[in-house]
Amino acid sequence: MLSEAGVSGLIIPDLPFEIYKNEYKYLYEKYNLCYIPLITQQTSEERITKLGAEARGFVYMVSSSIITGGHTVFTDHSEYFRCVKKLLPEKPLLIGFGIKNAETFSNACRNANGGIIGTAFIKSFDKPFTAIGDHVRGFVNSIRN
């Protein structure tokens, strides 16, 4: 069902790793879905390594201790990002939380394989637009510039 709709992975922020591994991993595998863990600056190196070993797709590095969409400034945590790169050299790493425009996306890309923009993208639909495809292309182009 999910894969038929084009879904290739799931991020479930409140799913503890141990519960994923014991109760849901088989479903991810059965439906060929990528397990995408979230890590923070507070995640221990041991746990980062463990999560990275299970991750399929990419590892989501949370940029700060805030709720998504609630942060106006992307904070540079280069040391944390470098540490994760060293622990997981073969895994794609993406940074999320606080990524909302070309500047913050560029900063994320300097520290990882890319950035995740959620809230700013959703909020962009508050503005009038004519065609969904044109709107999405316009938003993506504003980030790429």
Q: What tens-digit pLDDT sequence spans the chain (145 residues)?
A: 677 788 899 999 889 999 999 999 999 999 999 999 999 999 999 999 999 999 999 999 998 765 555 544 555 578 999 999 999 999 999 999 989 999 999 999 999 999 999 999 999 888 887 888 888 889 999 998 6
User: Is 28 part of a structural domain of the chain?
Assistant: no
What does pTM read for this prediction? 0.84
User: Is 125 part of a structural domain of the chain?
Assistant: no
User: Is 102 part of a structural domain of the chain?
Assistant: yes
Name the domain count of the chain: 1
User: Is 47 part of a structural domain of the chain?
Assistant: yes
Instruction: Give me the pLDDT at residue 102, please.
Output: 94
Range of the domain at 71: 36-118
User: Is 137 part of a structural domain of the chain?
Assistant: no
User: Is 87 part of a structural domain of the chain?
Assistant: yes
Number of C-beta neighbours around residue 35 at 10 A: 22
Are 63 and 99 within 8 A, CB to CB? Answer: yes
